[in-house]
Amino acid sequence: MNIQTDQSMLRRTLRAVSCVVLSLLPVMAQANQVNLNINLATPVMEAEQSHRAFIKVSLEGFKQQDKQARIPANVAIVLDKSGSMGGDKIQYAREAAIMAIKRLDERDIVSVVSYDSRVQVVVPATQVRHQQRIYQAIRHIQANGNTALFAGVSKGANELRKFLSRNKVNRVVLLSDGLANIGPQSASELGELGASLAKEGISVTTIGLGLGYNEDLMTRLAGFSDGNHAFVENAEDLASVFQYEFGDVLSVVAQGVNIEIHCHNGVKPIRLLGRESEIMGSRVTTRLNQLYSEQEKFVILEVEVPAQQAETELELVSVNVAYDNLFTQDEEQLSGQGIARFSASKQAVTAARDDKALEAVVEQVANEYSREAIEARDSGDVAGAKKILQDSASYLGSQAESLSSPRLQKQQEEALQDADALETEQDWNKQRKELKARQYKRATQQTY
């Protein structure tokens, strides 16, 4: 009897885990398909009590098999040429743009828009064929004037629209070193524009140069349109950032990824870590604009699980993912579910722990702390912010130890350094930009 129950428990555990991890095994066999993984940080939970559980929903882009068979890109480079860009900065920016365009070829469409208080379409959307002519036009860009960032992005997006296609990677690469001061200039307005562009399949990558730009605006614009964001302190580094960015652009394998998570059986969604999302009753939706070759993108959903009896299984969530596969040019669907098991044995709980998923969870939770710290610091509460970061560090420390994860350790060190750096006012501007950029990268699993 005892053995029987043990056996049945083992079987059930196995089934549960396999269900969670490998619900998409048959799909994985196909090469040109996105992998959907749904992992619970704690697949086995203690019975008879309610839990806060974290579910990691991850998508991994398939490998781009042939470098030559990549997806064509449709890129608009939007360069800030306001007065503050004068001197070296604009020169580096021009060279970075030229270097980046060198990676493109005839399949791709490129356009270059520059803006100060006005917007100039330097290179209208064109196939990358006569490269010298494009470079020539870029080299003519001179810095002066104000910063009409909104109009610049609008015109850049408009250039993209000329060749807008679901089969291309449509991206605006925005470089700015200053505050938008002509046209809309609030982070929320730019965020709404980003969201609107994302619906058309355009994402905006924002590169903040120097210490003068508005990191909230830039991260929001990137966040709502699922582009990348980078903080570049020295203009010399622009070239490498542009290289990374174009590397990303050229390795996109899927676009327009909609993730819809339904919570079942009284499970209540609390928050989605890392990304903008909509929570509506038991439904959570979010979207990624693109998946890159061999890159994992994930979201962490925190849910509240009501108390369950021991030895029961519960379907917590079901996940539906829809995306455009750029290789097959089809809209494809994936689905899966997250199932938890409940056990009275603490050992079983510990044994079943999914370390990798938990690591990701801890990373994102700490990232949320970091955001809160910025908010506290913004409201002038330096001590509070510091405390949040220190708490975050100790949380990271303990988890790093139990998971023996060097990544978390590193993050802990960062948190401690950040806590120290909060104090001085003059460093804060730079610190904030760094923090914002780092948070953004963590949240979106940006590669650079």
- Would you tell me which residues interact with another protein (CB under 8 A)? 113-114, 117-122, 137, 140-142, 145, 148, 150-151, 153-155, 157-158, 182-184, 186, 188-190, 192-193, 195-197, 199-200, 278-281, 285
Least distance CB 397 / another protein (angstroms):
34
Contacts of 58 (CB under 8 A, 6+ apart): 35, 36, 37, 38, 39, 296, 297, 298, 299, 360
Judged by CB, which is closer to another protein: 145, or 212? 145
Sequence-ordered strand ranges (E) for 345-403: none
The answer for residues whose C-beta is within 8 angstroms of residue 194's C-beta and 6 or more apart is: 204, 220, 221, 222, 223, 224, 225, 227
Residue 145 in 3-state DSSP? coil
| Residue 190: strand, helix, or coil | helix
Closer to another protein by CB, 13 or 146: give it: 146
Q: How far is the CB of 122 from another protein (least distance, A)?
A: 6
Pairing of strands 73-80, 109-115: parallel
Query: Contact 302/284 with Cβ under 8 angstroms?
Result: no
Residue with Cβ nearer another protein (120 or 335): 120
Q: Could you tell me where the DSSP H helices lie in 64-178?
A: 88-102, 131-139, 149-161
Nearer to another protein, 105 or 200 (CB): 200
Nearer to another protein (CB atom), residue 281 or residue 406: 281
Nearer to another protein (CB atom), residue 120 or residue 126? 120
Least separation, in Å, of the C-beta of 218 and another protein?
15
Looking at residue 293, the DSSP 8-state letter turns out to be: B
| Minimum distance, C-beta of residue 180 to another protein, in the bound complex (Å) | 11
Q: Which is closer to another protein, CB of 47 or CB of 169?
A: 169
In angstroms, the CA 264 to CA 283 distance is: 9
Length of the chain, in residues:
448
Taking a C-beta distance cutoff of 8 angstroms, is the pair 16, 22 a contact?
A: no
From the CB of 202, what's the least distance to another protein, in Å?
Answer: 9
Shortest gap between Cβ of 135 and another protein (angstroms)?
A: 13
Q: Closest separation between CB of residue 91 and another protein, Å?
A: 15
Residue 217's nearest CA partner among 257, 174, 249 is 174
